[in-house]
Structure 1
Amino acid sequence: MNVLDHPVASSGWPAQPFGAVKTRGTSPNWGSAVIAQTSLARVDLLRRLIVPAGDDEVVISHISRGRAGHGPTESQARKAGYAVCVHLDDLASYDLWSDERHCASPPLPSGTIHISDMRHIWQADIQSSFQVANFYLPQSALDEVIDEQGSRGTAALHCPIVEKRSDSVVTNLAMALLPALMHPEQASKIFLDHAWRALTAHLLKAYGSPDARPQIARGGLAPWQERRAKEMLLADLNGNLTLPDLAQACRLSCSHFSQAFRRTVGCPPHQWLLSQRVERSKELMLNSDQPLSEIALDAGFADQSHFTRVFSRIVKTSPAAWKRAQER
């Protein structure tokens, strides 16, 4: 996992995206997989996570400009993959071109999503302010999910900008990932694995070709699989394990393992891991004199603020308040 966080523009960095993202490459400009490129000097905020996905990378970004007048963008190189754009604010005025042909460019309300095939060349003239969350999904990531689900056919997505589609699943996932983009040190590998795989499975089901839509796996984990997965998660509370690690240990595909774990345990692996970190922190608060900052690290949290935020959300009170209540 890698991250760039640039809340303040700086013209000394390579071009960055509007409507999609960039992945690392061998060219001086890092290679391109964007709908339309812009420089950091022309946006107010750019945050980016790069997540390994097989032999390629999924890239997640958050980009915004709070004023009008961005203007024309540069084109990008063709790449085998798809750019999924989620508009978090209204986009009132722009013009879009695909392979040098002007496309319908309707105003887009907040919550609109669209998907662009990056085998085409995209350019835009952005006249109004914008705020977007973007996912770049390489073709290999889609193919991997299709293979794991036992489906046949070519993984392809179709959701053009002119349809102005609203998708609460994609929008809510984008919003859930904004804290990870702001604090990447608090995002575990298993959470990011789950996020891009869940997104890909949903997109294939909702916007994929019929012969390539993933099948729904049935049934939960066998007792030995549940035991093995939980043992592995507890042995690494820091969350350095990935879904492929757990799935391989249970002799399942990643997609099957994720669905089976949720059916058996009642929540995804990363959520179960968070609950176990909280339980570990309670044990340490009751049985040691360690300060909360040390307890946070020993329980697998990135730091005390991460610990306090997660503990308060799950327990409905702060760690300090919980500890005082136990001492009465």
Structure 2
Amino acid sequence: MLRKTTTRLGKPADVSIDSFGCSIDSLYKNQTLRGAGLTVLRKGSHKGLLQQVSTEASNRGFVIGVSTLAGHTRRIFHEHHATTHVFEQDSIYIRSLGEAYKADLQNSFDFLLFEVSPAALETIAEEADLQAVSVLNTMTGHSDPVLANLARALIPALENPEQASRLFIDQLTAAIGTHVVQQYGNRTAGSEPRRRKLSRTQENVAKAIILDNLHGNVSISELAKACNLSRGYFIHAFRETTGMTPYQWLLRERIARARMLLLETDAAISEVAISCGFSDQSHFTRVFVNVVGTTPGTWRRNA
């Protein structure tokens, strides 16, 4: 949106402002993805000078921010006082978008942000067999290395969304949502998740769909719908049934098909990589080494 501001000469100027009050011109990172119940964003600025952000109250829900850099300073203005916070690397903040916000930002920042609505929080809690949650506890500068590591795993998908696996994005954002609800949901203690498994028919249906989409261009929601299950129930049941997440199972099947092609054809390794759903030979080699313990070329020669 455009917001009127004033230049040093007193002349009005139109400045493009994002939904969190930042000047878009000051951002060197401004990326967005949609995940399982979450909107994922990355906002980064090299500006070392003081800049002020402000947003009006809205019904958008909550935002969870993960700092990838150390040294960012933020002075937040409350109704009758102000507080100053220095962010360490991998520290987080949670704030309600239902409250007006005003803060002075100083020094560079690079935040991974997760915006979630109250309705989505309730869905995440229900699918994880937790007590209902529609509110998150607010905090600033809290250390959460688990959430930080989960968030960082989304950076390649934000950088190259056209190459990202939908199955991977859905699976990872579902894990992030569950972690946030478990750790920061404003609720009484909940029960442990029930053990759930897929029926043999559901398991076969899900695996067949995954195999028909080796590039990962199928979502968790689509797999769950085919099995007549909720997204969250399907994720837990697939893992209980197979011992793997859907994405892990997909990678295993990609490698199994790659082994067959390496053994039975003279196709170049780069051709095998593409035909088995990998983005390129480098990606294929990394996964192959992790699963098999050696490179595709070495495995082919020894086989």
TM-score bracket for this pair, using the shorter chain length: 0.7 to 0.9
* Displacement after TM superposition at 1:178 (Å): 1.6
- Residues 102 and 300 from structure 1, CA distance in 2 versus in 1: closer, same or farther, beyond 3 angstroms? farther
1:231 aligns with 2:208: yes
- Which residue is 2:6 aligned to? none
2:49 to 61, 65, 69: 69
Q: Which residue identity lines up with residue 192 of structure 1 in the other structure? A: I
Does the Cα contact within 8 Å between 1:201 and 1:214 map onto a contact in 2?
no
Please give the per-residue CA displacement for 1:19-48, whole angstroms capped at 9, x wherever unaligned.
Answer: xxxxxxxxxxxxx3x2x4232x32333333
- Residues 97 and 321 from structure 1, CA distance in 2 versus in 1: closer, same or farther, beyond 3 angstroms? farther
- Residues 77 and 119 from structure 1, CA distance in 2 versus in 1: closer, same or farther, beyond 3 angstroms? closer
Structure 2 counterpart SS, 1:203: helix
TM-score normalised to structure 2 length: 0.83
- Residues 225 and 123 from structure 1, CA distance in 2 versus in 1: closer, same or farther, beyond 3 angstroms? same
- Which residue is 2:40 aligned to? 60
Q: Which residue identity lines up with residue 133 of structure 1 in the other structure? A: L
- Which residue is 1:116 aligned to? 95
- Residues 114 and 214 from structure 1, CA distance in 2 versus in 1: closer, same or farther, beyond 3 angstroms? farther
* Displacement after TM superposition at 1:252 (Å): 2.5
1:104 aligns with 2:91: no
Q: Percent identity?
A: 32
Mapped partners of 2:273, 2:53: distance in 1: 45
Please give the per-residue CA displacement for 1:59-109, whole angstroms capped at 9, x wherever unaligned.
Answer: 2233333452152235356232211101122234221235x6654222222
Matches within 5 A, 1:172-191: 172-191=149-168
Mapped partners of 2:80, 2:203: distance in 1: 53
Greater mean deviation of Cα atoms: 69-78 or 111-120: 69-78
Mapped partners of 1:190, 1:119: distance in 2: 31
Please give the per-residue CA displacement for 1:165-202, whole angstroms capped at 9, x wherever unaligned.
Answer: 22222111012112222232332111111122211111
1:141 aligns with 2:110: no
1:299 to 276, 296, 299: 276
Does the Cα contact within 8 Å between 2:129 and 2:194 map onto a contact in 1?
no
Count of equivalent residues: 290
Matches within 5 A, 1:116-265: 116-149=95-128, 153-161=132-140, 164-211=141-188, 216-265=193-242
Q: Which residue identity lines up with residue 168 of structure 1 in the other structure? A: P
Greater mean deviation of Cα atoms: 136-145 or 65-74: 65-74
Structure 1 counterpart SS, 2:84: coil
1:43 to 8, 27, 34: 27
Larger radius of gyration: 2
TM-score normalised to structure 1 length: 0.78
1:277 to 247, 254, 258: 254
Q: Which residue identity lines up with residue 67 of structure 2 in the other structure? A: H
- Residues 50 and 323 from structure 1, CA distance in 2 versus in 1: closer, same or farther, beyond 3 angstroms? same
- Residues 320 and 186 from structure 1, CA distance in 2 versus in 1: closer, same or farther, beyond 3 angstroms? farther
* Displacement after TM superposition at 1:251 (Å): 3.0
2:59 to 49, 74, 79: 79
* Displacement after TM superposition at 1:129 (Å): 2.1
Greater mean deviation of Cα atoms: 279-288 or 309-318: 309-318
- Structure 2 unaligned regions, length at least 5: 1-13
